[in-house]
Chain A
Amino acid sequence: MTKCWRKPLDTAVTEAPRGKIHIIKERCKGCSFCVEFCPKKVLELSSHYNAKGYNLPEVKNPEACIACDLCTIICPDFAIYCEVEKKKPTTGKKLKQTKKNVRS
């Protein structure tokens, strides 16, 4: 984990985007690059196999995904991709909180 000097002022307002991961099972060759280099450790190598006998990755904790798209770009077999889920609009209450944070 990277160390932050201070808490960013807009943490109350900005929400990290959420992503949904899709795995195309028939293309996977089980190299486990996605599992190893996911910055949020969303994926895990499962005990399932595909038709060719390769170990497949599995989504372990889907809530942690921030749609960084690293798995999409690092996959050598075009077998995994991430879809950004639509965000809910931020509420006015949270905006007020940030303004307070900025002043203090």
Chain B
Amino acid sequence: MTEEQIALNHPMDAYLREDRIPHIWCSGCGLGTCLNTFLHALVKSKIDMKKTSIVSGIGCTGRVAGYVKLDSFHTTHGRPIPFATGLKLANPKLKVIVFSGDGDLISIGGNHFIHAARRNVDLTVICVNNFTYGMTGGQGGPTTPITARSATTPFGNFEFPFNLAYLAAGSGAVYVARWTMLDVRRLENSILHALNKKGFTFVEIISPCPTLYGRMNKLGNGLKMIKDYQKNTIINHKVDLKDAALGMDGKIVVGNFVDIQRPTFTEVLYDHIAKPQPNKKEDIPKEERKKIEHHA
């Protein structure tokens, strides 16, 4: 390394644990771009970094918590949302972000995901969907499209996959968006909106996995997969989410699908606690209270 090289400082270095960079993600993988875009959005949002926490599960995307220089948790498989819920309830002033993959959030943590959306816990969930389990060797998961080949479905997948945006919207998320990792500016705006919105906000990012999913399905290298995204992406904000499923034909409907208002879990909880409880001494009629006190 020359002296000139050492002096170079990337603008995002302030928010990264530099000793861990370069990261483990393969050449052509979209996860680095997702993290880069997320950091750009986080810096733009001007949220106090000392009151921000990021939680990740296991998997390739789960490494994000280790690379970001914030208070971060790298939790057990599938449990980033329970950890994040606990964080949020213990300290409601914290901004809690869950950054994880589809195998972690939707398959193993699927139950936690739908219930956090139902309760409208004040979290920002960013799910990177690469249609496979990357770190463990390309097994088929709940998002693997039908007829796609994977390590566990060598003759083609025959299980129907989840449509994550539809699942989140049906479970009650207040903000649902889907973008590919190539739409960096739109994705940045979406994440920015999600960070500033109260309630369970969900952003799905479609990202290529050239090493496993791409190789097994002969989709070419990372660059070719992204060029296919460029060709096949349709922006439609008002699409009926039933029709926005992802299949092997490559058509990807993207957009900001849902943006509604609903009271969050923390608000409802504190309202409930503040309400007068009927079992308190003052609420019992005087005559009855006297009787009770007499017996005691």
A76 at the interface (CB under 8 A from B): yes
How many angstroms between the C-alpha atoms of A33 and B32 in the bound complex?
Answer: 11
Tell me what chain A mostly uses at the interface: helix, strand, loop, or mixed: loop
Contact A77/B23 with A25-B5, A31-B28, A32-B223 known, Cβ cut-off 8 Å? yes
Please report which residues of chain B, range 200-255, place their CB below 8 angstroms from some CB of chain A when the two chains form the complex.
222-223, 226-227
The winner among B28, B32, B37 for most chain A CB atoms within 10 A is B32
A77: chain B residues within 8 A (beta carbon): 21-23, 32
- CB pair B28–A78 under 8 Å, yes or no, is no
Given contacts A74-B182, A76-B25, 5 further A-B contacts (CB under 8 A): A31-B223, A33-B226, A70-B184, A74-B184, A81-B10
Q: Which of the residues A29, A31, A70 comes within 8 Å of B22, measured between beta carbons?
A: A29
A30: chain B residues within 8 A (beta carbon): 27
B273: chain A residues within 8 A (beta carbon): none
- CB pair B223–A76 under 8 Å, yes or no, is no
Can you list 17 A-B contacts with CB-CB less than 8 angstroms, sorted by A residue number? A24-B8, A30-B27, A31-B222, A33-B33, A33-B222, A33-B223, A70-B184, A73-B185, A74-B33, A75-B36, A76-B25, A76-B32, A77-B32, A78-B10, A78-B12, A78-B36, A81-B10
Interface size class of B (residues with CB under 8 A): 20 to 34
- CB pair A27–B25 under 8 Å, yes or no, is no
How many residues does chain A have at the interface if contact means C-beta atoms less than 8 Å apart?
Answer: 23
A85 at the interface (CB under 8 A from B): no
A22 at the interface (CB under 8 A from B): yes
How many angstroms between the C-alpha atoms of A75 and B21 in the bound complex?
Answer: 13
Residues of B within 8 A of A (CB): 1, 5, 8, 10-13, 16, 21-23, 25-33, 35-37, 40, 182, 184-185, 188, 222-223, 226-227
The winner among A30, A76, A78 for most chain B CB atoms within 10 A is A76
Please report which residues of chain A, range 74-94, place their CB below 8 angstroms from some CB of chain B when the two chains form the complex.
74-79, 81
- CB pair B5–A76 under 8 Å, yes or no, is no
The 4 closest A-B pairs by CB, nearest first: A76-B32, A29-B27, A78-B10, A76-B33
**What does the 1/0 interface line of A11-50 toward B look like (CB < 8 Å)?**
0000000000010111101111100110000000000000
A33: chain B residues within 8 A (beta carbon): 33, 222-223, 226
- CB pair B188–A73 under 8 Å, yes or no, is yes
How many angstroms between the C-alpha atoms of A37 and B226 in the bound complex?
Answer: 10
A75: chain B residues within 8 A (beta carbon): 32-33, 36
- Interchain nearest-CB distance for A41 vs B (Å): 15
How many angstroms between the C-alpha atoms of A79 and B25 in the bound complex?
Answer: 14
How many angstroms between the C-alpha atoms of A86 and B30 in the bound complex?
Answer: 33
